[in-house]
Amino acid sequence: MISIFPSLLNGAVISLQLLLTSMFFGLIIGLIFAILRINKNPIINKFAYGYSYFFRGTPLLVQLYLIYYGLANIEFLRNSFFWVIIKEPYWCAIIAFSLNTGAYTSEILRSAFQTIKKGYIEAAQSLGVTKKITFYRIQLPIAIKQSLPAYGNEIILMLKGTSLASVITIMDLMGEARKVNVLTFKPFEAFITAGIIYLFLTFVIHNIIKYLEKKYGFQT
């Protein structure tokens, strides 16, 4: 069990890299789509809803396969400079995970935006604060604070999601565990050790979010 630990830890580093990168892009995508969702224009609104409906209604594995195997099928993508990105399984995984977590994040942020008390915005308006500043200084900070607990859950779900990267040949924690299992025929040791590392990571993330909630949490 000790001998397989280093290779699993290497895998865990890859898993964390995947998680952090896709959470970063996912947050940006989620924020953009949350703003589109609360837009009053029905076409923009429907577009953003369709995006989140698709990515929340289909399994992550389908999205991953669509991007990894499917995009390579399109002729002009293969000839364009995008090919540098989508020929790498690592970037395909990041694209799929970012789009997936972006959809969930947009829903979390949208509901946070919609539960902001109207009084805050009215107060800002009556003080003559411009719309832009109201958004950046009042709505956005409140929405981020309110969505912290739900976003913490999303990070943990995404950590579990990164294990799917192993099916498109990335040697993340899950991939390393599979390799150990194939080499040693000891499924219990390989997968239970990997499971303990995953649990540890979940535990750490959970506590960081709890700390942030306590420090910056928003009490209404």
Using rule CB under 8 A, residue 5 touches another protein:
no
Instruction: From 26-34, 35-43, 68-76, 113-121, give the range in contact with another protein by CB under 8 A.
Output: 68-76
Comparison of 35 and 108: residue with beta carbon closer to another protein: 108
**Is residue 175 within 8 Å of 166, Cβ to Cβ?**
yes
**Is residue 15 within 8 Å of 172, Cβ to Cβ?**
yes
Comparison of 28 and 182: residue with beta carbon closer to another protein: 182
Q: Considering only residues 195 through 214, tell me which ones interact with another protein, judged by CB under 8 A.
A: 195, 198-199, 202-203
Q: Cβ–Cβ contacts within 10 Å for residue 175, how many?
A: 20
Site mask, another protein, residues 117-156, x = CB under 8 A?
A: ---------------------------------------x
Closest alpha carbon to 153 in 105, 100, 196, 217 = 105
**Is residue 146 within 8 Å of 112, Cβ to Cβ?**
yes
Distance CA 68, CA 72 (A): 7
- Cβ at position 142, least distance to another protein in Å: 26
Using rule CB under 8 A, residue 80 touches another protein:
no
**Is residue 206 within 8 Å of 156, Cβ to Cβ?**
yes
Closest alpha carbon to 123 in 137, 134, 114, 132 = 134
User: Residue numbers of the site for another protein (CB under 8 A)?
Assistant: 53-54, 57-63, 65-66, 69-74, 156, 159-164, 166-167, 174, 177-178, 181, 187-188, 191-192, 194-195, 198-199, 202-203
